[in-house]
Amino acid sequence: MDPMHDALAQGVELKKSLDLLKTQFDSSQATYNEDQVHAQVELATATSQSMAALKAIAVLLRGELDHSHPPAGLKPSLQKCSEAWQTAGTDAGKCWDIVSKFSVNTAQFHDAQLGNWQTNAENLKSTLNAQLIATNASLQKENDTITSLVAHQGDLNGVLTSLQSKLADTQHQYDTAEEVTSWFPVAWLALQAIKAIIDSTSHAIEDTKEQITQTVDLITNSRQSIVDAQLHAAQLTDLIAQQAALASEETDLMARCQSLLGTVEAAQRDIAAVKDDRLRAEDLVARCAARADLASSELTKVNYGTMLLMVAEVAAADDTLRPAAADLVAELATHDDKADSIKGIKTDDHPGGLLAAVQAKLGPQGVSAGGSGSVPNPHPEDTAPADGSGGTGGSGLLTSLALMRAMAARMATPGALTAEQNAKAMLAIRSFRF
């Protein structure tokens, strides 16, 4: 295959593959966003149900609790709560699996696919530059050749002029000598010598003309070679410029992907923290349920209250759970028994009182009842920029993650979003790009 044709074909293929990589990069983010928001909705739903199950236990603990004759629904409620937190823990694991898979895929995309494209582009660049250097060298050689040929043509023209002058002079001598041969026979011998010179000069003139013709042909061919080389050099220069533009686009995509990798790591840490919190809550409830099943007597209000407050403390670190946690804490504080069992709970971490510590973490919400379970920004879909960039001042992925969680918490609340708002929110989340 002609090297130039092969280079053009490679350039077309690189352009096509880069367009596919761009599409793949955007598509992978869209798929991740969609999968993650669905998983976050499931997690928010499970967590909301888990918090509601905690609240149900707290309601059953209102006032005085006779641990020898506990409310009939207490154990079933505790078991239901334990199962709900198990589901929440599983759903949190799904969120983690999704972001982890996305992280691996993004790294592979960066290292393998973009890396391979970059290698192929560098190889083509080297090939094109080598061809351009060779073409320019050939062009210079042709220029040198034509300069030499033109000079040679000038020399030949000079020789031809000299020979033609010599022929004219010799012919004149011959004509003069021919006039005297009639009355001076000896002159015939001189005439033959002059004729030999005329013949020799005539042959030399013909040879010189032939050389001039050949030189002119060589000059014409050389000029055409120069035109062809100049055209080839121009084509190579254009192709090199096109490849440089493509390489710049790929560099931008590589930089976006590199930044995305760092952002995904941050998202992994955020989701890992959520997962750890859910598993921590699951463990606290499961241990309480296990003790209730194994104990020879029912657990006391302090036992239940300790578990509920410790889970509330875990939930206090999550903005999407703070309202529900505050509602739970307010329920426990408001409906304590006469002995202030809830207020008197102390732990190694909170020797000054667990209730007071959790209330302090929750702020004003922690000391007033009536938490609605809502989260800040009741319509998070309205915060998404029209271009899907993820907003200014932060990464699109992290912004979308924050919106995902806030939106998921809203979606987990029946009637919190209309169908139109829900569709708009999902579209905004899916369109986020980094």
CB 31 within 8 A of CB 399: no
Class of residue 305 by CB neighbours under 10 A (exposed 0-12, middle 13-18, buried 19+): buried
Place of tokens 């290292």: 111
* Residue 256: CB atoms within 10 Å: 16
pLDDT tens across the length of the chain (434 residues): 578 889 889 999 999 999 999 999 999 998 998 899 899 999 999 999 999 999 999 999 999 988 778 888 999 999 999 999 999 999 999 999 999 999 999 999 999 999 999 999 999 999 999 999 999 999 999 999 999 999 999 999 999 999 999 999 999 888 887 776 666 666 677 788 888 999 999 999 999 999 999 999 999 999 999 999 999 999 999 999 999 999 999 999 999 999 999 999 999 999 999 999 999 999 999 999 999 888 656 789 999 999 999 999 999 999 889 999 999 999 999 999 999 999 999 999 999 999 999 999 998 765 554 443 334 343 444 444 434 344 333 345 555 677 777 777 777 677 777 778 777 767 766 665 55
- What is the maximum alpha-carbon separation in the chain? 170
Contact criterion met (CB below 8 Å) for 229 and 140: no
Phi and psi of 345, rounded to 5°? -65, 130
Contact (Cβ atoms closer than 8 angstroms) between residue 373 and residue 51? yes
Chain CA centroid to CA 56, Å: 47
CA 382 – CA 385 distance, rounded (Å): 8
Contact yes or no for 30/430 (Cβ under 8 A): yes
Answer whether 18's CB lies under 8 Å from 117's CB. Answer: yes
Show the domains of the chain with their CATH numbers.
1-299 (1.10.287), 376-434 (no CATH)
Cβ–Cβ < 8 Å for 328, 312: yes
Helices (DSSP H) in 181-294: which residue ranges?
Answer: 187-294
Q: Classify the C-alpha dihedral 401-402-407-410 as positive or negative.
A: positive
